[in-house]
Amino acid sequence: MAFHPARTHAYPRSMSILDAPLARLDGTSGTLRDLTGGRPALLVNVASKCGLTPQYTALEALHEEYADQGFVVVGLPCNQFGGQEPGTAEEIAEFCSTTYGVSFPMSEKVEVNGPGRHAVYEGLVDTEDEGGESGDIRWNFEKFVIDADGTPIARFSPQVTPDDERVVAAVRSTLS
């Protein structure tokens, strides 16, 4: 199946989403750029107690496969869907490391919808997926591929797994 780039919008501010303040899961201050290292990335709102949580395995495999080519997966924990990410930062880190061997960077817990929506998601939600859907994040594990400049390249629904050929094609399209 061919990769079709998402239709996107320009980030509504004069800065890239990469410049949005975003602390690491351990509380270290920084920006999304600090988490991505200025590399293309797959951004995923994650949750530890969701039926889709086993996607962590494929997220880690994707990260491991493409890290040497300049790509990174970034997890953004969110507790807005059914309270499925209730833990503290330490509990989330322990769960991800112990259960799924997660080595990719994780951010602090963020809100992806509503009045508290994080600036990163303000810059992503107008991106359409393959079905033309945009707007609010629908559930845990919604995925966005961004290029090294922070421009959204593709959006995938929570049910599209990280090892789906469409996600892999979008990832490959960002590599030089």
pLDDT value of residue 14: 53
Assess contact for 110 and 138: CB atoms under 8 A.
no
The predicted model gives 154-161 an average pLDDT of 97
pLDDT value of residue 176: 73
Predicted TM-score (pTM) of this structure: 0.92
Alpha helix ranges (H) inside the chain: 32-36, 55-66, 89-100, 119-122, 165-173
pLDDT value of residue 4: 43
Output the six-digit token pair for 33. Answer: 């750029």
Q: For all residues of the chain together, what is the average pLDDT?
A: 92
Active site residues per annotation: 50
The better pLDDT of the pair 140, 11 is held by 140
Q: Is 91 helix (H, G, I), strand (E, B) or coil?
A: helix
